[in-house]
Amino acid sequence: MSRPCMIYPARHQRSLKAPPRSVDEYLDTLLRQQLTQTVAALRAWKLAL
């Protein structure tokens, strides 16, 4: 069963209007916004994103 908190970031990434970003670029963007705990949790799911 998928965890909703892990699905929403992937949906958010796909909804961006700018050119697609790699997962690493997306996570770097979140880090620049000081969302360190979010990035830490998402890194564990990097392959699924």
Q: Is 43 helix (H, G, I), strand (E, B) or coil?
A: helix
Among the listed residues 27, 22, 33, 24, the one whose alpha carbon sits nearest the alpha carbon of residue 9? 27
The residues, any chain, with a CB within 8 Å of residue 30's CB and separated by 6 or more, are 38, 39, 42
- Confidence band (pLDDT; 50, 70, 90) for 25? very high
Q: In this structure, is residue 19 part of a structural domain? A: yes
Tell which wins on pLDDT, 17 or 24: 24
Q: In this structure, is residue 48 part of a structural domain? A: no
Q: How many domains does the chain have?
A: 1
pLDDT for residue 15: 73
Arithmetic mean of pLDDT, 30-38: 95
Q: In this structure, is residue 35 part of a structural domain? A: yes
Mean pLDDT of the chain: 80
**Model-wide pTM > 0.85:** no
